[in-house]
Amino acid sequence: MKTDIWMPIYIGDYLKDTMHLSAEEHGCYLLILMEMWNKDGWIPASAKYLSRVARVDVEKWSKEIAPVLGPFFREDEAGITQDRLLKEVIKAKNKRLAAQQSGLLGGRPKKPNGLPKRNRTVNQTGNRMGNPRESSSPSPSEEEKKTVLSFSEFWSIYDKKVGKATTEKIYSKVKEKDRTVIFLQLSRYIASTSEIKYRKNPATYLRQEAWNDTIITQSAEPLGDII
């Protein structure tokens, strides 16, 4: 599925964390989460921008809504994000990439004849992503534990197709702890370089360990009051 036509919401977790919100605050929060989802996890932090997304005037946003919703978000030079949503954005991109690769290979391989089909099990705390009953269980699946990008996933998300062989060789030497940081930081860097011509070549990004750099985005409007 395209990530701009669906967004996972874990109902139990959402309600547990937002019981103190009013109906209006719920609406503002969900609208901002949807905007973040469509923008790959990061949006500008200006009060003017956020108030437009939340469908309230700037004064109401700054004085009433932002103080309540602020603790849900994390802010830095790139804008604001919500950490759970950011992980789901990357997970969705990985699933889409896997589906594309499976299609190129002719779909999933068939099971050998004579072997029984394996039953799909569901733990007691939830089921597969996309089911409204699923929540973040204390025993997440291996897929949910994944915080490291494979090279093919990095290459697809980075989306600047220059020097693949060299890039793959460099990536193979990147330590797992650094790949975890890349997993968390890459979507912000991509969002800050929406024009690919200004994005570092992928091999350069890796050589310079650019995942440790401060990400600064240009905004057409002053930041003003921020959450």
Question: Domain for residue 41, yes or no?
Answer: yes
Q: pLDDT in tens for each of the 227 residues of the chain?
A: 444 678 888 899 999 999 999 999 999 999 999 999 988 888 999 999 999 999 999 999 999 999 999 999 988 777 898 988 988 888 787 777 667 666 655 555 555 555 444 444 434 444 333 333 333 333 334 444 455 678 888 888 888 999 999 999 999 999 887 887 887 788 778 878 878 888 999 999 999 999 888 776 544 444 344 44
Residue 159 lies in a domain: no
> In this predicted structure, what is the pLDDT of residue 227?
42
Domain that holds residue 49: 11-73
Does some domain include residue 40?
Answer: yes
User: What residues form DSSP beta bridges with 226?
Assistant: 46
Q: Is residue 1 part of a domain?
A: no
Q: Is residue 64 part of a domain?
A: yes
Q: What is the pLDDT of residue 76?
A: 77
Residue 184's alpha-carbon distances to 155, 159, 188, 204, 211, in angstroms, are 15, 16, 8, 19, 9
Q: Tally Cβ neighbours within 10 Å of residue 216.
A: 9
pTM above 0.95, yes or no: no
Q: Spell out the residues 6+ positions from residue 120 whose beta carbon is closer than 8 angstroms to its own.
A: none
69 domain-assigned: yes
Residue 89 half-sphere exposure toward CB, CA atoms < 13 A: 26
DSSP strand pairing (79-81 vs 74-76): antiparallel
Task: Let me know if residue 95 belongs to a domain.
Answer: no
pLDDT at residue 111, as a whole number: 53
What per-residue confidence (pLDDT) applies to 25? 96
Q: Report yes or no on 83 lying in a domain.
A: no
Tell me what pLDDT residue 107 has.
55
Q: Angle at Cα 143 formed by Cα 202 and Cα 106, nearest 5°? A: 75
The number of folded domains in the chain is 1
